[in-house]
Amino acid sequence: MNKLKKTAFDRNLPFNALPDLPPPENIIDKEILIKWGLASRALAELNKNIMRIPNPLMLVNTISLQEAQSSTAIENIFTTEDELYKAVSDTIKEDSANPAIKEVLRYREALWGGYNALVKKKVFDKTIAIKIFQQIKNTKQGIRPPQSQVIIKRGQSEFKSGEIIYTPPRGEEIVEKKMNNLFRFLNERNEFDPLLKMVIGHYQFEAIHPFVDGNGRTGRILNLLYLVDQKLLSHPVLYLSKYIINHKNDYYHCLSGVTQRSAWKPWILFMLRAVEGTSQITNQKIDEILAQMDSTHKYANSKLKWYSLELNQALFSQPYVKQKLVGEITGARSRTTLTKYMLQLTELGVLSAHEEGREVFYVNNDLIRILES
Ligand SMILES: Nc1ncnc2c1ncn2[C@@H]1O[C@H](COP(=O)(O)OP(=O)(O)OP(=O)(O)O)[C@@H](O)[C@H]1O
Ligand SMILES: [Mg+2]
C-alpha cells in the first residue's frame, strides 16, 4: 500500500519516479510490428527519393522552412507564410523581421546547426540537444537547474485553461542522470530498432523536459537528427511537426498515457502513424517539386537562351527570389540586362513580381502552391 503511494503519479509533483530506459521488451507486440514495417518502408522510400534531387541541400532548405513554421506554430506563434518567405529571401534584413518570424528562422537554424554538428562530430549526445535549445531560445543557458520549477499546462484554448497536466522531474543531478540514461539508450545496441528508439526516446525526452522552454521544438529536431544519425535519412527532411500539430490533442494524450499508465502502445502507434503519413506526404512533395522543376526548366529554357539548370534550381530553393540572386547566377553584366531578364521571367510566368513600397519581390507561385498544398 505504502509502495503504491510512493510511485503513484501526481501531475502536480515532480515526476522523479520516471523510469529509466529501456522500457520492458514486451511493449512491442504484433500490431506495433506491423505498423513499424509500414513506417519503415515509407521512410526508406523517402530516403531514396531524396537522392533524386539534384542538389538535396536546396530542397532541404524549402522543406525545413515548412517544418520550422509548423513546429513553431505549435507554440501558437503566429506567422504568415508571406512574411516568412520574404524574410528568408533575404530581401528584408533579419533584424527587422518580427519576433515570430525570428523564432521560425531560429528553429531552422537550430535544425541546420544540429545537423552540421552531427555530420562533423558524428556523435549524437546531449551537447547536441543543448546546442539546439540554445539556438531556438537564443540563450546561453543549459539544462535547467534543480531550483527552477517547470510545469506543463493545458493550452489556453482548451476548456480548463491553465490546469497543470505534468510536472517533470526535479532535483540535484536528476535531470542530468535521466539525460545520460536517455542518450545511452539511443546510442547503445539493444533489442529495439532505431525507429522505435526514436519514438521511445521522444517520450522520454519530453518527460524529462530538460530545459526551461523549447522542449517540444528541441525534441522534434532531435527526432530528425537521430534518424540521420542512424542512417535512416540522409538529410533531415521529414516534415513531422505538421502531423503533430494537426493531431496535437492525441499527441498530448498519448504522452500522458505513458506517464500515467505505462501505456506505451498508443504512443508508439501514434508516432509510427506520424512517420508513415509524413514520409508519404514529404515524398509526394518531392515528386511534385521535381516534376514542376522539370517542366519549368524545359519551358523557360526553350524560350530564353540564358536560362540555365543552375538558375532553375535556385528559383526552386525558396519561394521568394531576389533580383540579385538572378544576377549572380546569370552573370548579367548590366542593370539593363538584369531588368530585361526579370521582365522575361515574369512574362513567361516563371516568377511574378510583387511591389511593396519601394521593394520588389519575385515569387515562384508554382513552388508556393506545392509547399502549401
Ligand atoms: N504530459 C506530458 N508529458 C510529457 N511531455 C509533455 C506532456 N504534454 C506535453 N508535453 C511536451 O511538452 C512540449 C511543450 O514544452 P515546451 O513549452 O518546453 O516546448 P516548446 O517547444 O516551447 O513548445 P511546443 O512544443 O508547444 O512548440 C510539447 O511539445 C510536448 O512534447
Ligand atoms: Mg514553450
What's the pLDDT score for residue 20? 98
* Gap between the Cα atoms of 39 and 269, Å rounded: 10
User: Which position has the grid cell 513567361?
Assistant: 348
What's the pLDDT score for residue 2? 44
Does the fold of domain 304-372 match that of domain 2-285? Answer: no
Q: Is the beta carbon of 167 within 6 A of some atom in ligand 1?
A: no
Q: Which fold has domain 304-372?
A: Arc Repressor Mutant, subunit A (1.10.10)
User: Measuring from atom 26 of ligand 1, which residue has the nearest CA?
Assistant: 75
Q: Is the beta carbon of 168 within 6 A of some atom in ligand 1?
A: no
User: Measuring from atom 5 of ligand 1, which residue has the nearest CA?
Assistant: 206
Q: Is the beta carbon of 241 within 6 A of some atom in ligand 1?
A: no
* Gap between the Cα atoms of 79 and 65, Å rounded: 12
Element (H, E) at 226: helix 215-229
Q: What is the pLDDT along the chain (373 residues), one digit of tens a residue?
A: 444 444 578 999 999 999 999 999 999 999 999 999 999 999 999 999 988 887 777 667 777 777 787 877 766 666 677 777 777 776 445 566 677 788 888 888 899 999 999 999 999 999 999 999 999 999 999 999 998 889 998 864 444 567 899 999 999 899 999 999 999 999 999 999 999 999 999 999 999 999 999 999 999 999 999 999 999 999 998 888 889 988 999 999 999 999 999 999 999 999 999 999 999 998 998 999 999 999 999 999 999 999 999 999 999 888 888 888 999 999 998 999 999 999 999 999 999 998 877 778 899 999 989 888 8
Q: Is the beta carbon of 192 within 6 A of some atom in ligand 1?
A: no
Q: Where are the domains of the chain?
A: 2-285, 304-372
User: What atom in ligand 1 is closest to the CA of residue 166?
Assistant: 1
286-290 — which CB contacts under 8 Å span 24+ positions? 286/46, 286/49, 286/50, 286/52, 286/53, 286/59, 287/49, 288/370, 288/373, 289/59, 289/62, 289/316, 289/367, 289/370, 290/52, 290/53
What's the pLDDT score for residue 94? 56
Would you call the peptide bond into 22 cis, given omega within 30 degrees of 0 as the criterion? yes
What's the pLDDT score for residue 3? 46
- Domain spanning 2-285 has what CATH number? 1.10.3290.10
Mutate to test the pocket of ligand 1, among 252, 259, 270 (most ligand atoms within 8 A of CB): 252
What's the pLDDT score for residue 57? 73
Q: Is the beta carbon of 75 within 6 A of some atom in ligand 1?
A: yes
What's the pLDDT score for residue 281? 92
What's the pLDDT score for residue 154? 80
Mutate to test the pocket of ligand 1, among 206, 251, 270 (most ligand atoms within 8 A of CB): 206
Q: Is the beta carbon of 259 within 6 A of some atom in ligand 1?
A: yes
If you write DSSP's letter for every residue of 130-170 in order, what string do you get? HHHHHHHHT----SPPTT----EE--TTSSSTT-EEE----
